[in-house]
Amino acid sequence: MGETIICSGCGVQIQTEDKEGLGYAPPSSLEREVIICQRCYRLKHYNEVQDVSLTDDDFLAILNTLSRKKALIVKIVDIFDFDGSWLPGIHRFVGDNDVLLVGNKVDLLPKSVKRNKVINWMQRASKENGLKPVDVMLMSAESGEAMMNVAQAIDEYRNGKDVYIVGCTNVGKSTFINGLLKELGAGDEALITTSNVPGTTLDMIDVPLDDGSSLFDTPGIINHHQMAHLVTKKELKIIAPKKEVKPTVFQLNEEQTLFFGGLSRLDFMSGSRQSFIVYMSNELHVHRTKLEKADELYEKHLGDMLTPPGDTKHFPDLQMKEWKIGKEKLDIVFSGLGWVTVSGEGSIVRTHAPKGVHVTIRPSIF
């Protein structure tokens, strides 16, 4: 090994092998006098934040430093993958700092969904996970909906303190920060000044704020139990909704099964005939069959008729959970895929999802 080269933008160790990895710089750039990693390069020249992957240990080390700071923590989650994009243990890492919880990708929700019900659910789910945010907000970093409201709330809640944006990969952290940079960069009243060079804090992008504080973008964190990590990049395009999700209604008799591609499954075990309303990516194929045939079908056709996944070799076994439906209409949430709205007091439903991928229930958000 030669000498260690450090990025003069963010202080990370430079490497030239892994393009997606932390500290990557093209070999040709090593000739230059001042060497910066590709992430800093893009931020500096194109005002664009790029994601890099870190190991779990790197990530934990970064999170561990948060409890010692005096800052506002902005935690971004993907509302289509709330459980998958939650950062376990976040309440311990943030110490006494306030947390503003932001649910991103609100543009994917059907218009009929009541936004305040989504916020109530996020509040409840946070509490169950041990976190009590100062506020819960929804936005779409992609369409820009409510993005400036979030920016304003950040400015209010931070009270002159630094801001740390945390979230796992794919929640839309880069889209949000890039959106902010574009939106606010030019104006005099700007919250964020874009002309500044990224700071020197190891592994974090430092965006200076106009009062001398900073907004830090922590690197994307990989949550291994996300559905997103069980499929290829191409398949992720199929399962992650791109536009407003259109509900599909299935009238089911008891002992019927729905397969969501080959990624998850729902069995209607017992109860009277009723509708199951599926809110998932419009491109994901839902296959209906009889319960008695379901196991055999899965064994024979996972990877072809039941796809994604295309590659079944490394795909984990599905784990079963049983749910009894009470008086209230419920959403059964398949983390990373979407949800199915069910009603019918006394009905029994079973869900099957890959080991580690959460299935949860919430009062229906309609």
Binding to ligand GDP by CB under 6 A, coded x per residue (else -) over 47-86, reads ----x-----------------------------------
Selected binder of ligand GDP within 158, 173, 265, 352 (CB under 6 A): 173
167 contributes a contact to ligand GDP by CB under 6 A = yes
Q: Which residues contact 120 (CB under 8 A, 6 or more apart)?
A: none
User: Any idea which residue has 């991103």 for tokens?
Assistant: 104
Q: Which residues contact 73 (CB under 8 A, 6 or more apart)?
A: 66, 94, 97, 98, 99, 100, 163, 164, 166
d(CA 356, CA 83): 11
Partnered with residue 331 across adjacent β-strands are 341, 362
218 contributes a contact to ligand GDP by CB under 6 A = no
Closest by CA to 48, choosing from 215, 181, 217, 201, is 181
Q: Which stretch binds ligand GDP (CB under 6 A): 39-47, 171-179, 226-234, 280-288?
A: 171-179
235 contributes a contact to ligand GDP by CB under 6 A = no
Selected binder of ligand GDP within 36, 63, 136, 171 (CB under 6 A): 171
344 contributes a contact to ligand GDP by CB under 6 A = no
217 contributes a contact to ligand GDP by CB under 6 A = no
Report the residue closest to ligand GDP, judged by CB. Answer: 172
Provide the minimum distance between the beta carbon of 164 and ligand GDP in the complex, in angstroms, as a whole number.
Answer: 14
**Of 81 and 267, which has the nearer Cβ to ligand GDP?**
81
Is the four-CA dihedral 263, 338, 332, 103 of positive or negative sign? positive
User: How many residues sit close enough to ligand GDP to count as binding (CB under 6 A)?
Assistant: 17
**Of 233 and 314, which has the nearer Cβ to ligand GDP?**
233
Encoded amino acid at 350, one letter: R
Q: Which stretch binds ligand GDP (CB under 6 A): 33-41, 170-178, 187-195, 222-230?
A: 170-178
d(CA 24, CA 50): 11
d(CA 101, CA 126): 9
Q: Which stretch binds ligand GDP (CB under 6 A): 34-42, 105-113, 150-158, 269-277?
A: 105-113
107 contributes a contact to ligand GDP by CB under 6 A = yes
Report the interface residues with ligand GDP, using CB under 6 A: 51, 104-105, 107-108, 140-142, 167, 169-175, 220
